[in-house]
Amino acid sequence: MTVQHVVLFNFPRPLSAEDEAAMREMVATWPSEIGLMSKCRLGTDVTGTRTRGYSHLLYTEFADVDTLNRYRAHPAHVRFSDWVNERDCTVLAFDYHLDQGTVLMPEPEGLKGAPEASGQAQSEPDPARR
């Protein structure tokens, strides 16, 4: 049964541009280097409010708990965890099964071709059309 793995990161100080780039680069290699997840997202809050200091969110999905555990033990993930811990980051992780009791709205068909899924920047809507 599919497992969703959500992790929030609270760094004691804002990350430098170099650390931001390093964090993104490490996670961006996982689909090819680890290859166990069906989804992988990393982002920062767009509002800057209600985060209680958590600045980054990692979202991944795995086929099952065994696959999640193999990901956790993978050297690329261990290196990332070490990097995060070296920065005295507080990490909050939450894992749960995706099933009829937790999926309240299925993903729309055709999402795979959406700009955000392909890594393309999404353009702002035309103000004249609002």
CATH number of the domain enclosing 43: 3.30.70.100
In a domain, 128, yes or no: no
For 26, the domain range is: 3-100
In a domain, 117, yes or no: no
In a domain, 108, yes or no: no
In a domain, 69, yes or no: yes
Q: What tens digit of pLDDT does each residue of 82-97 get? A: 999 999 999 999 999 9
Q: HEC profile for the chain? A: CCEEEEEEEECCCCCCHHHHHHHHHHHHHHHHHCCCEEEEEEEECCCCCCCCCCCEEEEEEECCHHHHHHHHHCHHHHHHHHHHHHCCCEEEEEEEECCCCCCCCCCCCCHHHCHHHHCCCCCCCCHHHC
Q: What tens digit of pLDDT does each residue of 50-67 get? A: 999 999 999 999 999 999
- How many domains is the chain built from? 1
Predicted pLDDT of residue 112 = 56
